[in-house]
Chains A and B, each alone.
Chain A
Amino acid sequence: MLEKALSGSNRYWAWIFFLLAVIGIGCIAYMKQLNEGLGITGLSRDVSWGLYIGQFTFLVGVAASAVMLVIPYYLHDFKKFSKIVILGEFLAVSAVIMCVLFIMADMGQPMRVANILLHPTPGSIVFWDVVVLNGYLLLNIVIGWTTLGADRKGVKPPDWVKPLIYLSVPWAVSIHTVTAFLYAGIPGRHFWLTAVMAARFLASAFSGGPALLILLALLVRKFSKFDPGAEAIQAVGKIVTYAMFANVFLLGLEFFTAFYSNIPGHMHPFLYLYTGIDGHTKLVPFMWISSILAVVSLAILVFPHLRRNENILAFACAILFISLWIDKGFGLIIGGFVPNMFEGITEYWPTLLETLITIGVWAMGFLVLTVLYKVAIAVREEDAAVEH
C-alpha cells in the first residue's frame, strides 16, 4: 500500500520536500549537539530537562489520545467513527515516533542507549516507558495497516486483529500513566509529586490529542476527496470539551492543595510559573497565555451551537492545543526544576539550535503522518470510487 505515497500532486511533493528540508536543518543542528554536547541547549545543572523532554511528554499524550476514537468505535460500535479511527491510529504512530526521537535527542550518550535493554532495570520507570511506548507503536502500526489493508480489499479485518485492538485500549492508558510516573514518583520535586499527575496527563491528552485530530480531519477533507464525516468531527469535539474541563479541574485541584496547605515548597513552582519569583519571570507571560487560551477555548466549546460551526470549532481546537502545548510541553517540566533543590532560581530558555532540532523532530513526525495519511486517503478515495 505504501506505493500510494509515491504518487501525488505537486502540492503534495512540495510539502514533502519542505518537510525534508526542515528535517535536514534539524539534522545539521543535531550533529553540532552530538559533537559538542548538550551544552548547546539552554539546559543547566539546575534545569536538566527542557524542551525535548517537554515535547516527549506532550506527544505521549497525543499518541494516547487515539484511544478516544478506538473505544467508541470498537467497544461501543459507534459507526460514525468508522472512517476517522484510522486517522487517530496513524496520528498515534507518528506521535510515538516523535517521542522516541525526542528521547534520543535528549540523551547525553545516545550511542549507549541500548544499555537500557542490555542492563534491564525493572525498578526504573524509564524501562517500562520504553516497553510500553514501543509496544504501543507496534500495536498501532499493525492495527492501522491491517484494518486499512482489509478495507482496501473490501473485506472484514482478520479475526486476529480484534484482540490487539482491545489490548490497545488499556495500553494507551498505560503509556501516559507510565509517563506520568516518571515525574510523580520523585521525592523532593514538589511540583511533580502529586497523585493526580497521571489523571491530569490523561485528561490533557484526551483533549489535546483529539483537538489536533479535528484540525487534521478538517485539513484532510479540504485537500482530498476523503471525508472523515462531519458527525464524527462533532463527536470528537464533544470528547475534547469534556476532557478539557476535566483537565482544568485537575489543574485547579493542584492550586488548591498548594495554596491552601500553604507549604512553601508546593507553592513556589506555581508562583514561579504564574507570577515569577524575585524578578525571574521568563515563563510568566506564556503561562498566562496558556491559561487565557484554555478559558477562551472552553467558553467556546461549551456551547453546542458554537461548536457546530466548523470554523469556530477549528479555532477553539487550535487555541486549546496551543494552551496545552505550553502547559504540558513546557511549563510542567520547567516548573519541576524551578526553584532548584536549594530553593535557588536558575531560569531556562531554549537556544536556537535546540529549537531547530525540536522543529526538525516535529517535521519528521509530520512526514510520517503525511505519508501514512496519504496512504489512508488514497485507499479511501479508491473505495469511494468503487462505491459510486
Chain B
Amino acid sequence: MSMNRRQFLKLASASTILGVGAASVINNISNGSLEAAQIHPDPRALKAKRWGFVVDVSKLTTDEDYQKCIDACHDIHNVPNNPNPRHEVKWIWKDTYEHTFPNTAEDKIMNRELQEKNFLLFCNHCQNPACVRVCPTKATFKRESDGIVMQDMHRCIGCRFCMAACPFGARSFNYTDPRPNIKVENKEFPTRMIGVVEKCTACYERLAVGKQPACAEKSNGAIVFGDLEDPNSEVRKLITEKYTIRRKPELGTQPSIYYVIGGGEHA
C-alpha cells in the first residue's frame, strides 16, 4: 500500500485525536467508579424530602434579632464584607417589605406597621429553580435527595446566568478577591475565589452532621426549618395554622421560604 505524505498526516492526526480522546474518556469512567462503594453519608445527617423554612417576622423585633441570624451565617461561611456596595456578597440579609414583595408594594394605604416591617431574605431553594434551569455546567443544581439548591463553586464558570435568572436576587458574584474582606476566617469552611457565584446553601455542611442551619439556630424561633413534605413537621404545622406568604409565587418557581407576617391572634 502506498500513501502520500498528505494522507499519512491526515491519518496520523486523526488517530492521535481519537486515541487521546478515547483514553481520557476511559480514564474518566474508571475514576468515577473508583471508590463508590467506600463512601457513605454521615449517620448523624438530617434527612428530608424537601427542606423548607418558615420565617415569622413578628418574632424579629430589634435590629439585633436580624443581625444575629445574618452574622451566624456570614461568619461561619466566610462571606466577605466588601466595601464597594456594587460588589456586595450576601447569603442572608434584611430588607424592607417593599423590596421583599415588590408587586404588592403599590398599595399606599396599607397597614403602616407591615409596610415598615423588615424581612429576612435568603435563597428560596425553589422547587422549580430558574437558576438551575439556566446553568450551563450544572454548577448549580437541585439535590434530588432533599431539594436543596446547591452551588458547586468548583465547577462554576462565572457566566452569571443564574444571577440573571433568579427572581429573588439571592445570588452574589465575586467581582474581586473575597479573602481581603473576610475579617475572621472560619478555618473549617472554605472561602470562595474571584469569578464564581455564591449563595445560601441551606447549611448543607451542617445538615450533614445533624445540625440545623445556622440562621435558624440563632433566630430564637423566628426561623423554623423542616421538611415541607412531612405533614407532621413543625414547618407544615405552622403553614397550615397561620397565614403565610411567599415571594413572587406567580412566577411558578415554588419558593420554599414561607413568611408569617402577623402575630398569633391576627393570623
* A interface residues (Cβ-Cβ under 8 A, vs B): 36-39, 41, 43-46, 48-49, 106-110, 112-113, 115-116, 118-119, 121, 123-127, 130, 182, 185-189, 264-265, 336-337, 340-344, 346
Chain A residues whose CB sits within 8 angstroms of the CB of B172 once the complex forms: 45
Surface stretch bound by A, among B33-41, B48-56, B158-166, B221-229: B158-166
| 13 additional contacts (CB under 8 A) given A44-B87, A45-B163, A186-B134 | A37-B194, A46-B86, A49-B164, A106-B160, A108-B158, A108-B194, A109-B157, A115-B137, A125-B134, A126-B161, A185-B134, A187-B165, A264-B106
List the B residue with the shortest CB-CB distance to A268: B102
List the A residue with the shortest CB-CB distance to B176: A39
Please report the number of residue pairs spanning A and B whose Cβ atoms sit closer than 8 angstroms.
141
Q: Give the total of B residues in contact with A, Cβ under 8 Å.
A: 50
Q: In the complex, are the beta carbons of B138 and A121 less than 8 A apart?
A: yes
Q: In the complex, are the beta carbons of B195 and A186 less than 8 A apart?
A: no
Shortest beta-carbon contacts, A-B, top 3 = A108-B158, A108-B195, A188-B167
Q: In the complex, are the beta carbons of B174 and A108 less than 8 A apart?
A: yes
Q: In the complex, are the beta carbons of A116 and B99 less than 8 A apart?
A: no
Chain B residues whose CB sits within 8 angstroms of the CB of A108 once the complex forms: 156-160, 173-174, 194-197
Chain B nearest Cβ from A172, distance in angstroms? 22
Asked whether any CB of chain A lies closer than 8 Å to the CB of B237, the reply is: no
List the A residue with the shortest CB-CB distance to B131: A186
Q: In the complex, are the beta carbons of B155 and A115 less than 8 A apart?
A: yes
Q: In the complex, are the beta carbons of A45 and B253 less than 8 A apart?
A: no
Q: In the complex, are the beta carbons of B164 and A186 less than 8 A apart?
A: yes
Chain A nearest Cβ from B87, distance in angstroms? 6
CA distance A108 to B87 in the complex (A): 13
10 contacts between A and B (CB under 8 A): A45-B172, A48-B163, A48-B173, A49-B160, A107-B158, A116-B157, A119-B138, A123-B133, A341-B102, A342-B99
Q: In the complex, are the beta carbons of A341 and B158 less than 8 A apart?
A: no
Chain A residues whose CB sits within 8 angstroms of the CB of B155 once the complex forms: 112, 115, 119
Chain A nearest Cβ from B230, distance in angstroms? 28
List the B residue with the shortest CB-CB distance to A189: B164
Select which of A38, A113, A265, A336 is within 8 A of B173 by beta carbon. Answer: A38
Q: In the complex, are the beta carbons of A124 and B134 less than 8 A apart?
A: yes
Chain B nearest Cβ from A44, distance in angstroms? 3
Chain A residues whose CB sits within 8 angstroms of the CB of B160 once the complex forms: 48-49, 106, 108
Asked whether any CB of chain A lies closer than 8 Å to the CB of B100, the reply is: yes
Select which of B100, B134, B195 is within 8 A of A107 by beta carbon. Answer: B195
Chain B residues whose CB sits within 8 angstroms of the CB of A341 once the complex forms: 102, 166-169
Chain B residues whose CB sits within 8 angstroms of the CB of A43 once the complex forms: 86, 175
Q: In the complex, are the beta carbons of B95 and A342 less than 8 A apart?
A: yes
Q: In the complex, are the beta carbons of A126 and B136 less than 8 A apart?
A: yes
Asked whether any CB of chain A lies closer than 8 Å to the CB of B71, the reply is: no
